[in-house]
Chains A and B, each alone.
Chain A
Amino acid sequence: MPEFDLLMPQTLPEALEMLGDRAPDLTPLAGGTNVIVYMREDRHRYKMLMDLTRLNELHGVRREDGHLVLGSATTIAELLTDPLIAEHGALLRQAAAVFASPLVRNRATVGGNLVDASPAADTAPPLLVMNAEVELASQKGVRRVPMDEFMVGVNETLRQPEELLVSIRWPLPATRSAGGFSKIGLRKGAVCSVVSAAVMVEKDEDGLCQSARIALGAVATRPIRAYAAEEILVGQPLKPQIIDLAGQLSAETVKPIDDIRGSADYRRRMVEVLVRRLLSRAAQEIVPRE
């Protein structure tokens, strides 16, 4: 592994200053489950890395103005035990449970998973359907970017080199809402998604679909929303026929590739299956009006 310099800021302002001075030569390092692998593979050479683990500002989960705010250095393993996540981020927790392996989950962070911007990033579909935003901080201040805009391509995001992803926030899910996350891999643990999907639906008082969001992973250059499928659900009762149609429309939205994990055709067909299954389950989960 090539040599590199490691900076170890103790506070967020210090870290932002380091980034401001040294970007783009300075790369933030959280769990290292991607950066270290890329270095070992010689896929990237980093001149300088900045360790984020000592920045308390990037840790913790809190409620704030009807939102849940998650520090970007929260590990995937922490998602599985945090009570606020259990209550207001069930989908993210579902994704965390099938994310890589326990060893990787102990190190990998939510922020790192998003900044790495793999099309197969397992935290992305849940955050997309929860209408999450990421908060990017620099010495100039903080800006919020909606999840659906943040990732722009394979390993590409809107984060500027001098910016640090500090937190992820999403509105607390509505009471008559339900959702789920599901992935298909070539084995049941420690595996990259061949296809992943998340859905979130909300019913109105009459039991009709008030809003629907569908997100899909590993089927395009970035995790994407299936807007066309979402639209046809709104205002409808969530019955099998319309759900089937939403599955088909989702499959039409995607632009998957053939790779060693699966063919484009298989991925497209699995989108349909996963979306249909997740929507059916979510529709049943929402407790009808008393």
Chain B
Amino acid sequence: MKYKAKPLPPVELPDLRVVGKPLRRVDALGKAVGSTVYAGDFSMPNMLHGKVFRSSQPSARIKRLDVSKARELPGVICVLTAKDLPDAKLVTDMPGQTGQKRRAGTDAPVLASEVIRYRGEPIALVAAETLDIAEQALERIEIEYDTLPGVYDPLEAMKPGAPVVYEPDNIVATWKIRKGDVQAGMAMADMIIENTFSVPFVDHAYLEPEAGMAWMDDQNVIHIRVCTQVVEHFRSIARALGVPQNKIHIQGTFLGGGFGGKEDITVEIFLALLAKYTHRPVRLAYSREESIMAHSKRHPFIITHHTGVKRNGRITAAEIEMISDAGAYPYLSPYVLLYATVTACGPYRVEHLKVDSTSVATNNPFTSAFRGFGAAQACVAYEQQMDEIAKALDMDPLDVRRANYLSTGDRNATGQQMKSAVWLEETATRALETLGEKTSECGPIKVGQGFASYMQSYGRITWFHDTSRAWVGLELDGTAVIRCGVPDLGGGQVNTLCQIASEVLGVPLENFIIYSTDSALTPLAGTTTATRQLYMSGSAVHQAASEIRRVLLEYAQLHFEQDIENLELADGKVYVKSDPENFLPLAELTKMCAAEGLPLSNLALFKAPFTDPIDPETGQGDIFPDFTFGAHAVEVAVDTETGEITLLKSVGCHDVGRAINPIAVEGQIQGGSTQGLGYALMEEVQVVEGVIQTPSLSEYLIPTSRDLPTTKAIILESGTGLGPFGAKGIGEPSLTPAAPAVANALTNALGVRIKDLPLTPEKVLAAIEEAKNA
């Protein structure tokens, strides 16, 4: 065997009863039997149906808009245009947080009034008695456009004289890193390796297209039931509607996937408007086609690396340029770009580093958050670059990385010190060892193996001053309730909170009920984004449960006449450690505590570390609470006559700090890597002159069960994360290294590299041909 797993440093993890066990998730049964109610499942008496009228042009001025024929159609209750909503903007600030400095005048209007900047931009809203009537109303809306010259390529958009999407120019955001002396670093190099890599638009392709319903109550509160990653959007909806913030109430639902695509406002603002104007319940649900047209995409990036290296593989300097296509409105582009910038050189020690990154407006579909959030795009580039360095130096790809991997105590690209475990070699060698011997080749079929290491932050940018809240309470029968505003995207967010509280309180997992994702009735937990909920809300729940534990044990201390250290809470009981037969059921204990007037509930607020923004000129400073590290390795077979790639093996190995529920972690590693592997092999929203050419899942291809082997998940636990019980985050990290691993395996098989994802059969064949002719 070529690669041997590097022994793990000694780790002492506390022995836990509930945490770390592969228990059945509290949300599992409902999903298995189909009783979980999703946002599209609701209906109400007297309900109307909403529809959105969208632009057919990617770049135009509205010459004439006449909705009178739609309004006249019997059964149409309301047609809204920009005229009805003066100045209503979709505020794309990080909700509920401070710190964003976005360019004035670049927020997307709720409904376009004058200028159309992308195809599919909302122009009018309709509410009607039936869906059919609403659809007919759309056909009766009359519109004439004066088409405007558009710009569809970020490189073109940066040139002087290019059409400007919004004044004064197309530059949406820039970031810089200046560390050390790049010129001196390059001068020390034995070789300078230069490559440009690119990645395409990608759709989130969640199972559940955007859906919801809204209604107004007798206090004129607008209630919105919707699938969203961010219930805190109620604030920007209130602003856009011109109503007080306490009059918008978002009741989130379980999500059929979010992946960043439900991080920005989707249907909820249209629902709120239609409910406000009609005073009737309104339902709005996108078809798959409308979903693909209406929601954000992953940013395409063009990334150029110049890396100076010594013969021994050590990187002396790196100069990296990144350009991302922000599409028609910025949304979260500045932050996606920041994540890419921070991880531009990967989890490697680079003393002399220069990064320049730019996000550019075009008339393409707008781009925003997508699992990995820029750091995934960066990884596609830096991990291919590492393999190219290895090739140029005739070194083993692992050895090149070993010479440069960050270690605990080292500082990353922005000078932030790595304080938790940095198990890069540990994860890479395990992934490679598990991959095993290369499958033998046969005829035109070539086989290759490849891997990628990564770093990905969990928790938000620390100058956003991130917080989460959770409430935990015990009932008098010994059962427990959690209230926490966390939206569950399917990743196991609510179960994780229950499992943490179960560990702390000794209440069995099945005795928990959790109320979540409600902007008014559950304490606000912040967004389910940025791999932050386990860290943030998990810590809040841990804090609240620990406070109740203290109350229980202090009372039990008196009851048992024992020191607190001699008492334990577990399995629904409090008992004396040295004499487990001496116990009291929790139901008894809680009744006693209640009779004494002791608090059996607690609302906790958890704060992430707060920092000041980084230095804009050097990009130096702390940006994230911490990082997750890991690796993914794959083996591919390539048909050199057809260009088809077959994935034979796939292994993901990650240090998750502590696995709260190992089955859920395995699910994240398998699901995330599936998205990453699809990114490498086939996923691409093809856009020509601003028009999506892959408008449905017949054209936009994601992997099927026939395309991928089961990803083997190797879970390592350093216990050094900032989350409860030493947990890190795994939601986004699971995706990040998968795509470059495939690209590296393909190059290993063929000897040539395709620097532009996805690796379609046709590109593979062209690359083989090019190598032959060279």
Residues of A in contact with B (beta carbons under 8 Å apart) = 2-3, 40-41, 101, 184, 186-192, 194, 260, 262-263, 266, 269-270, 273
Contact = CB atoms under 8 A, between A and B. Distances in A.
B706 A260 contact: no
Given A184-B642, A184-B644, A260-B693, A101 B704 contact: yes
Contact of B701 (A184, A191, A266, A269): A191
B704 A184 contact: no
B698 A187 contact: no
Interface string B289-312: 100000000000000000000000
Contacts of A263: 762
Contacts of B681: 187
A3 B132 contact: yes
A24 B1 CA distance: 69
A83 B141 CA distance: 56
A261 to B, nearest CB: 8
Contact of A187 (B641, B682, B765): B682
Interface residues of B, number: 25
Interface of B: 132, 287, 289, 641-644, 646, 681-682, 686, 693-694, 698-699, 701, 703-707, 760-762, 765
Given A190-B704, A192-B698, A270 B642 contact: yes
Contact of A186 (B646, B693, B761): B761
A41 B695 CA distance: 11
A189 B761 contact: no
Contacts of A189: 704-707
B693 A269 contact: no
A184 B707 contact: no
A3 B133 CA distance: 11
15 contacts: A2-B132, A186-B760, A186-B761, A189-B704, A189-B707, A190-B704, A194-B761, A260-B693, A260-B694, A260-B699, A262-B762, A263-B762, A266-B761, A266-B765, A273-B641
Contacts of B682: 186-187
A150 to B, nearest CB: 25
A187 B704 contact: yes
B686 A184 contact: no
Given A184-B761, A269-B765, A270-B642, A260 B704 contact: no
Q: Which 3 A-B pairs have the closest CB atoms?
A: A189-B706, A189-B704, A188-B706
By CB atoms of chain B within 10 A, which of A101, A186, A194 has the most? A186
Contacts of B699: 260
Nearest to B694: A260
Contacts of B707: 187-189
A145 to B, nearest CB: 29
B128 to A, nearest CB: 15
B645 to A, nearest CB: 10
By CB atoms of chain B within 10 A, which of A188, A192, A194, A260 has the most? A188
By CB atoms of chain A within 10 A, which of B132, B760, B762 has the most? B762
A101 B704 CA distance: 9
Nearest to B132: A3
Nearest to B708: A188
Nearest to B765: A266
Contacts of A194: 761
A187 B761 contact: no
A273 B704 contact: no
Nearest to B700: A260
Given A188-B704, A260-B694, A262-B762, 9 more contacts: A3-B132, A184-B644, A188-B706, A191-B701, A194-B761, A260-B699, A263-B762, A266-B765, A269-B765
B703 A273 contact: no
A142 B701 CA distance: 42
Contacts of B762: 262-263, 266
Contacts of B760: 186
A192 B287 CA distance: 21
B365 to A, nearest CB: 16
Contacts of B698: 192
Nearest to A191: B701
Contacts of A192: 698
A194 B760 CA distance: 12
Nearest to B139: A42
A270 B701 CA distance: 21
Contacts of A40: 287
Contacts of A188: 646, 704, 706-707
A194 B699 CA distance: 12
A190 B287 CA distance: 20
A262 B707 CA distance: 19
